Chain A
Amino acid sequence: MSDDRFPHEPSVAIDLSRRKEPSAGRGVRASLVEVRHVAAPYVTMTRIALAQLLRSRLARAGALMLACLALVAIFADVLASDLPVACRWRGAVYLLPNVTHPAALSGVDCAAMRRDRGPGDWLLAPLVTRGPTEAGDDVEVLLPPLSSGHPLGTDSLGRDLFARVVHGTRTALGLGLLASLALVAIGVAVGALAGFVGGPIDALVARAVESLSAIPTLVLVLVVGALVPHPTTATLLWTIALTRWTELARLVRAEVLSALGTDYVTAARALGASPGRVLLRHALPNAIGPALVAAAFGVASVVLIEAAVDFLRVGSPDTMASWGEAMGEARSHAEAWWLVAFPGAALLTTLVALNLVGEAARDALDPKLRGVGAEMGTGG
């Protein structure tokens, strides 16, 4: 990664040099207008990048896929739950009991409600009336897709696969987003610190980055999960966030360093800006691009690792619905192709969408690669 990313930044310098001239007044104002006019296309990097991003058809496709997945994750309870979306039961009306799980409805599910419905009771059932963790009876084990009540079939415990895939979306995206946010926060903070303070702290961070990136994440996550007394999903989240910030920290550090070498930072310092202001207002905004790209790829890698860990550790006491877990279950049931196909398709869609958005964002934000894109555009 080259450090001189922004070759067109003389605008501020020109501005200042003109201001020093004794014959100020109108001349300065005119030159400022001129400079702004010349510099305009270069100054708002973010706006250019955003426009570029929106122009990319692949990025829009990826974003659309992600939006759909996000909707599935948000409305997972409406798509598949053992309780209705709304109902009147024993004279009381419940709204969204599938989200709130009221105590009065514990022990009943949609099937039971339909069966012993009293006069005046009604219910609005979700698409599939089974929760993701609800095991079925013996007849319901390993049903193929399109069985009655189970559009995608069931797994070896008789749990509805549709419900598990839908709720698995929530697990994957929620975990990915949280871990990615933590990762970006750590990466930006550490990278900014290393670049801005420099010296021994920089050397320390450099060693930390090198050593952490030498540890295979998947292996570390597996091992930490086995060593911690009571592993939860939070363990996985923190393990990934605390070890995967390294790539971003390196990029942010490079951005901060290159910004500190620019004339506009020198100018800001000369005008008496505090170090904090220089860092936050002048240096760090350059790192927004890498941070966004790292966030997109971070979500992808968390989703991937979570799936792989659940795939390998199938049978571990974890009640969360997860794509990887469903696929891992298929390992001992050769005939159950649906256990691989549907969760696998969901996983692949998510990863492809995240990669599409991430790559489009990177191409849009990296001027070096932008040239490539423009050339391709003109060449048809």
Chain B
Amino acid sequence: MLRYALRRVLWAIPTLLATSLVLFFVTTLAPDPGSPGTDDPLVEEAHRARFLDLPRFVNANPQDVRSRTLEALGHLASGDGRHEAAARELARLGGAALPYALPQVESLPPDARGRVAVALAPVAERMGLAQADELRRPGAAALFWSRFWDDRALDFTSTAVDRAVGRLVEHGSDLRENDLLSLDTFALPEIIVAMAGTTDGVALERLTRIASHVTERGPVLAADATREQARRAVADWQEWWFVHETDFVALDGAARAVAVVTETRYGKWMKRAASGELGVSAIDGEPIAEKLRARAPITLLVCALAMLLSWALAVPIGALGAWRQGRAFDLASGAVLFVLYATPTFAVAEVLRRLTVGQAVSGGRVTLAVAALAVGSVATLSRWQRAAMLDVVRQDFVRTAHAKGLSAWRVAVVHALRNALMPTVTLAGLHLPVLLGGAFVVEEVFGLPGVGFETLRAIEAHDAAWLMAVVLASAVAVTLGLVASDVAYGALDPRVREELARRQGGRTA
């Protein structure tokens, strides 16, 4: 039994992978906010935030801080048309670029060396080592950087930074903060990691201040910030880091090999989806994962209650209809259920809402939403139940049970219904997507603040991150539901387990 369950769960993995590919394709439908090279930094940022600068599936040559630095150096050295953009890029990369830029500078011709040194002047200013004015002359700037690297090269190692950040978090002082500031962006990886690891207000203030200073962006926490504010600011920094990590980190050896796959649009998207970090909402800057966690219980509650209610009604109705096949009850319930089966959930919900306007309903809107959602499910499930029961009723063991002289009640419930329940269990899994879609509708009609309600707000605001997260979450929920219903079916019926073992393909044929 355990083997069967495991097997079924494992078979869900390729399905989920295929789902991720489908959803990844859906993400590509969203319009490109703009291409790089435009002057508007906001547009370029939006472009990068959706990883549109990365290739789709395979990144043969992943960019990192070293390749970016060397490219900028190349443009600066040749002094071609793009040397101004290259100078800006070098200033942005900052301290993280120095270990790759400064050793190279020595081998450049004097005028190129001067241009690079001047381009790095804003970095020196950020580090608090010199005023940009002092470094405007190429000669002075080149001399400054050559001395700087002679003195400080040993500080530019990750172990040194790690220790410095650790000390700052434990007992911070302005001196230690300045130490880190003088490393500029080189310290960013450790700082971002440290942010997630501490809840101390003072430490967070120092960390975010450094990060904000060296990147010239982003929120700085006040030391007396609330927990909520702190959480949000850290989430914002982590989100930014997820997009910009390779600007400040070099990919070596194994990391480079992995980056061929992960530094792609699909890789980034998958990494985010798999880690449950789904980005930040465009409406209010709230992390999507948090929002989803807050809203999902309402949707799941409505779905679960509707499912239970429709089971409780559908099983007896369907079974009785089949048992009394062709009689008044069967025909009447069949006709009513047929019409209900065809009625859209939104119409049921809207009519129900109109009928109950101004009236107190016990349990309020949830009750109404569950009732509206259950109507369609009752119709579907009871029709399945009836068909399953009809199949069973005609079988020999039921006739045998009758012949043994058992009461009709006992035959119907113990012999027939027990067997007729099983197909309905699996089919109930197939019904999940419909139920979930219906839950979105009833939430909107009755104003329940669940996932569906929020999704319709996100549609108005074109909040792509939330929308993608919702499709992903519902697909995963449905897949898990299918697995659960298959496992339940297998637990009830050993023949199913053998079938799966034979077929190996889950529910394919």
Chain A residues in the interface with B (C-beta under 8 A): 3, 203, 206-220, 222-229, 250, 253-254, 257, 300, 304, 307-308, 311-313, 324, 327, 330-331, 334, 337, 340, 344, 347-348, 351-352, 354-356, 372, 376, 379-380
Contacts and interface: CB of A to CB of B under 8 A. Distances in A.
B346 A312 contact: yes
A334 B357 contact: yes
23 contacts: A203-B505, A207-B15, A210-B18, A210-B507, A210-B508, A211-B22, A212-B19, A214-B478, A215-B478, A216-B440, A218-B438, A222-B455, A223-B468, A224-B29, A250-B508, A304-B344, A307-B344, A312-B441, A312-B456, A313-B459, A347-B344, A348-B342, A379-B325
B390 A372 contact: yes
Interface string B428-461: 0010011011101100110000000001101100
Contact of A218 (B19, B342, B437, B508): B437
Given A214-B475, A226-B467, 6 more contacts: A211-B18, A215-B478, A219-B436, A228-B31, A308-B344, A313-B459
Interface in B329-387: 338-339, 341-347, 350-351, 354, 357
A218 B441 contact: yes
A224 B13 CA distance: 25
Which of B438, B467, B478 has most chain A Cβ within 10 Å?
Answer: B467
B18 A227 contact: no
Contact of A219 (B16, B31, B455): B455
A345 to B, nearest CB: 10
A228 B29 contact: yes
B26 A250 contact: no
Contact of B350 (A226, A340, A348): A340
Contact of B509 (A203, A216, A253): A253
B464 to A, nearest CB: 6
A226 B22 contact: no
B30 interface: yes
Interface in B20-52: 21-23, 26-27, 29-31
Interface in B487-509: 505-509
B474 interface: yes
Contact of A340 (B30, B354, B456, B458): B354
Given A208-B18, A210-B506, A227-B26, A216 B344 contact: no
B143 interface: no
A203 B326 CA distance: 43
A216 B346 contact: no
Given A307-B344, A312-B441, A352-B342, A227 B30 contact: yes
Given A223-B468, A331-B445, A217 B509 contact: no
Contacts, number: 160
B482 interface: yes
A215 to B, nearest CB: 5
Contacts of A327: 346-347, 350
B212 to A, nearest CB: 32
B137 interface: no
A348 B445 CA distance: 19
A321 B482 CA distance: 38
A180 B325 CA distance: 34
B197 interface: no
B334 to A, nearest CB: 11
B39 to A, nearest CB: 23
B390 A219 contact: no
Contact of B441 (A210, A213, A308): A308
B26 A218 contact: no
Which of B15, B23, B441 has most chain A Cβ within 10 Å?
Answer: B15
Contact of B475 (A211, A324, A351): A211
Nearest to A303: B344
Contacts of A380: 326
Nearest to B476: A214
A213 to B, nearest CB: 7
B507 A308 contact: no
B304 interface: no
Contact of B440 (A215, A218, A226, A354): A218
A375 to B, nearest CB: 8
B264 interface: no
B227 interface: no
B477 to A, nearest CB: 9
Given A227-B464, A312-B456, A215 B342 contact: no
A293 to B, nearest CB: 15
A331 B459 contact: no
B140 interface: no
A218 B451 CA distance: 14
Given A229-B31, A308-B441, A312-B456, A206 B505 contact: yes
A307 B338 CA distance: 19
Nearest to A315: B460
A95 to B, nearest CB: 39
A311 B444 CA distance: 10
B479 A214 contact: yes
Contact of B22 (A215, A225, A308): A215
A215 B341 CA distance: 21
Nearest to B335: A58
B459 A225 contact: yes
B16 A211 contact: yes
Nearest to A343: B347
Given A214-B475, A220-B471, A348-B339, A226 B507 contact: no
B508 A209 contact: yes
Contact of B347 (A215, A312, A344): A344
Contacts of A222: 440, 455-456, 459
Contacts of A344: 347, 351
Given A327-B346, A327-B347, A214 B19 contact: yes
Contacts of B81: none
